[in-house]
Structures are given as structure tokens and as C-alpha cells.
A and B are shown apart, each in its own frame.
Chain A
Amino acid sequence: MNSTPIRVLVTKIGLDGHDRGSRVVAAYLRDSGMEVIYTPPWQTIENVISLAEQEDVDVIGVSSLATDHLIVPDLMSELKSANLHHVAVVVGGIVPDNEHDMLNKAGVSKIFGPGTSKEEIVKCVTELGTGARKYKIDEGDFF
């Protein structure tokens, strides 16, 4: 009775408009019982922060197919300054091998490359989401 679905923001930042991937992943997560807040592409980082805050999401999934992952570190630092460090961030799409390190160091929890299975995505997002939710309950249980 007292459980609530994991909430995930599926979005694209930057100027690339290839949104097929993000739609497919949004449907995967929906079919696994999560509540997905879906945005069209071309979001600013400011928008993503605002969305994450207002929608109280547990995980942010950023789809990147054409170098938009390069601005994910900026998103990570903005999340921290907005006091949303508990929100897990995953990146999916095309990220060259030699740039994984840069994203991991910035705090990205997971990178899903081409060929990642639905099961793998769902399992990982569920774990990350559950973790973020637990953190919020432990930390913010003040009402």
C-alpha cells in the first residue's frame, strides 16, 4: 500500500534532436512500473534542474547521440549547487570510450552504450532510484 513508483526524468540536453532512443527508453521504464517525466529534446541545463526539483525525481536519464554528453559535467555541478546531489544521473547513447572517465569522475552513475538490453537498463535504474529514494527518506523525513 505505502510504496510509490520510482520517478525518472528522461531528457535530452544540448542541440541534438534525435529523440527515438529516449522515447524507447521512456517506454521501457513505464512498462517496468516507473513514472517517467518525458521531455522533448533541446532542454537547457537550467530546465533540467528545475524539472528535477519540481517533479522530485530519483533518477535523470540523459540521452546523447551527438556529443551532448560533453555538457553533462555542467549538469552534474548544477545539480550539486541546487542541493539535488542525491538524484542519480545515467547517460545513454553514444559516448566514446575515452570519455567515459570524464563522465564517471563528474558523478555520472552509469553509461549505457549501444546494445544495452532493456533488462540491464531497468535493473540499474531501479537500483539507483531505490537508493535515491532511501536517501531522501533518511535525510528529509522531517514533516
Chain B
Amino acid sequence: MIDNDHNSQNKKTTLKKLLSGDVALLARAITLLETGGTKADNLAYKISANAGEALVIGFTGTPGSGKSSLINCLVKLLRDQGEKVAVLAVDPSSPLSGGAVLGDRTRMGEHTSDRNVFIRSVAARGHLGGLSIAIPSIIDVVDAAGWPIIILETVGTGQSETEIMELADIKVVVNAPGLGDDIQAIKAGVLEIGDVLVVNKCDQPLSDSLVQQLKSMLELRSSEKKNIPIIATSATEDIGIQELDKTIKNISLNLGNEYKAIRQANRLKGNLWRKTEQLFRYRLKEINSKKIEDILHQLRNGIISNGDAAEIILNLCVDKE
């Protein structure tokens, strides 16, 4: 009993330390959230009350378009302005081994020892959508630990990894020249979610035509989605970074007062959906294999339809207890 009291006192002190900015504890809390389970859920619950204040700037775009290098430049600029910045950089996990080489932060090496910059590499761990399953609660804990600006970098994305929409307050879509024609630009997907479109590597020859393609893509949009800024940057030549920063600041000023509440509500809903899906998948594995055999047998013999079978399985998941 005494031990329990002691333990809960310790937990309170640790949580306090985490909330007041202890970097080592923050790093461990992130590992716990990535690991998942009851303890992780409890931690996520405890910190959620202290989260929701940070501005989350999302960077997405194709592999090699220069997201990390661009973030490095932006962090430098924000540090010159005296801001404190956290970066969460997601890289893919190997579908074969589950392992990963997390190399985004090699582009941000100059900030490694700066105590006002927190960088964490996050492996996607098989989660599709450009981020990782734990990212929403990782954002919350970094936010709660007192980082007012969080830059979120997705894995190199294809055309449909739009999960960042729900989590980032401002979405920057990074493009690089030489990857496709104007038909690519009018397809649905990641270009549609950008609040800012960046053409990086603007020192390279084809970048002007990419800017033109993006401009004509915007021409085809309905009026309220037409005025998306297109910014040409070069992370290596340090071009356009000031303009990018200014644009992001303008957008953040125009977000309005209610947006934080709306965003938190959206995140809450997204988190609930993901958790439910996770639970469902877990329950699915728990179903007695004999029952599944039986359902498959009926399916094979045309007694029930695929839809019926799915309905029965769904009920088995729910009735489990």
C-alpha cells in the first residue's frame, strides 16, 4: 500500500518533469507511445489535457524532393527569430524485416546540439498513409512538453498519403522538377491538400515549367481553392526560404480563433477511428479458428454470400465477451 502511494507520487513527479520540458523523459514517453498498450494509452490520456496549443506544420511530398533539407532551412530561420522548434520526421519501415534506417535528420545535423531544437525520427512501422499509428499522440506529448511549433515530415509520399490533413494546421506540399507532366498535376491526391505548394530545387532547369504546371492546375480549381501560394525554393542555395516562412506565418494568422477547437475535435475523431480499427483487427485475430472454418465452409458451398459472411464475422468480434 505504502509502495503504491510512493509509486503514484513518483508518477506524478515524472509527469510534471515531462510537462516542464525534460528532454530525456519526452524521448522515453515517445518510445512508450510507439510501443503501444495500456501504459501508452494511459499516458496519452494524461497528457491530452495539456495538448492542443502547438502549431503543427506538415511537410509532405515525393521521396527525394528535399523535405528534410527544406525543414532544416526553415528551422534555421525560426531559430534566428528566437523560436523553439520540434521536428518529427517519419521514415518508412522495411516491409520485410520491420527494421528501418532513419536518415531524415542527417539533413538537419547543424541543429543536433541546439537545446531549443528537438528532433525525433519516427519509423512508420507498417502504417500506410505517410505517418505512423502513434503520431497523433506523439504530437500531443511534444506539444504538452512545451514545444510551440512542431514540424511534421511525412515519409516520401506517392499520390494518396493524405493523413497529414487531419493532423497538421498548415500543409506544405513539396514538389521537385522532372517527375511528371501536367496530367500528373491535375490528378486527385496529395496536391489537393496543400495550403502551400513548394517547388524545391528551383535552381534546376525544369523547375520553371513545374511552377507553370502547378499554376495552370490551380486555374482549373473552384474559386475558393484557387489562391494557393506557389513558392519556388532551393534548400541548397538558400532561395525562397524567407518567403516560405512568411507565407506559413500569414496562413497561421488567418487560421482564426476557433480553429484549435475544431482541429482537436477532428483529431479526437481520427484517433477514435484508428483505435477502433486497431481493436477490430486485434479481435479478428482472436476469433476461434473453428468458427472461421465453418463460415468459410458455408461460403465455399454457396450457402451464404461474402457480405453475409463478413456480417457474421463482425458480430463475432462484437459478441466476444
Evaluate contact between B98 and A5: CB separation under 8 angstroms: yes
How large, as a class, is the contact surface on chain B? 35 or more
Distance in Å: Cβ of A135 to nearest Cβ of chain B: 12
- As a 0/1 sequence over residues 107 to 118 of chain B, the CB contacts with chain A under 8 angstroms (1 = contact) are 001001100001
Task: Given the known inter-chain contacts A38-B101, A143-B46, please indicate yes or no for A31 contacting B39, CB distance below 8 A.
Answer: no
Partner of A143, one of B29, B105, B121, B125: B29
**A-B contact number at CB 8 A:** 108
Task: Say whether, besides A1-B36, A27-B101, A143-B43, A35 and B123 are in contact (CB < 8 Å).
Answer: yes
**When each residue 85-116 of chain B gets 1 if its CB lies under 8 Å from chain A and 0 otherwise, what string results?**
00000000110111111110110010011000
Find A36's partner among B24, B101, B120 (CB 8 Å cutoff).
B101
Residues of B within 8 A of A54 (CB): 23, 27, 118-120
In the bound complex, residues from chain A placing their C-beta under 8 Å from that of B30 are 56
Q: Kindly state the separation between the CA atoms of A75 and B23 in the bound complex, as whole angstroms.
A: 19
* Contact segment of B8-16, B74-82, B189-197, B264-272: B8-16
> Is there a chain A Cβ closer than 8 Å to B307's Cβ?
no
Does A16 belong to the interface (CB within 8 Å)?
A: no
Contact B36 A142 (CB under 8 A): no
In the assembled complex, the Cα of A35 lies from the Cα of B43 at a distance in Å of 23
Q: Is B34 an interface residue (CB 8 A)?
A: yes
Q: Which of A111-143 contact B (CB under 8 A)?
A: 136, 140-143
* A37 near B37: Cβ-Cβ < 8 Å: no
Q: Mark B1-32, 1 if CB is under 8 A from A, else 0.
A: 00000000011011100100001110111111
A1 to B281, CA, bound (A): 11
Alpha-carbon gap, A142 to B9, bound state (A): 9
User: CB distance B31 to A143 under 8 Å?
Assistant: no
Contact A142 B11, CB 8 Å, known A36-B101, A37-B102, A83-B24: yes
Q: Are A50's CB and B112's CB within 8 A?
A: yes
Measured between beta carbons, the chain B residues less than 8 angstroms from A84 are 24
Residue B212 interfacial (CB < 8 Å): no
**In whole angstroms, how far apart are the Cα atoms of A56 and B106 in the complex?**
17
**Docked complex: B32-47 residues within 8 A CB-CB of A:** 32, 34-37, 39, 42-43, 46
A46 to B113, CA, bound (A): 6
Q: Which residues of B contact A36 (CB under 8 A)?
A: 99-102
B282 beta carbon closer than 8 Å to chain A: yes
Contact with B along A1-12 (1 / 0, CB 8 A): 111110100000
Q: 10 A-B pairs, CB-CB below 8 angstroms?
A: A32-B99, A35-B99, A35-B102, A38-B102, A38-B103, A38-B106, A47-B109, A143-B11, A143-B14, A143-B46
Given A4-B35, A54-B23, A143-B14, 20 more A-B residue pairs with CB atoms under 8 Å apart are A2-B36, A2-B37, A29-B99, A30-B100, A30-B101, A31-B99, A32-B97, A33-B98, A38-B103, A38-B106, A39-B109, A46-B113, A47-B109, A50-B112, A53-B24, A54-B119, A56-B28, A56-B30, A140-B14, A142-B11
Binding site for A on B (CB under 8 A): 10-11, 13-15, 18, 23-25, 27-32, 34-37, 39, 42-43, 46, 93-94, 96-103, 105-106, 109, 112-113, 118-121, 123, 125, 282
Closest 7 CB pairs of A and B: A142-B14, A2-B37, A30-B99, A56-B27, A4-B35, A47-B112, A33-B98
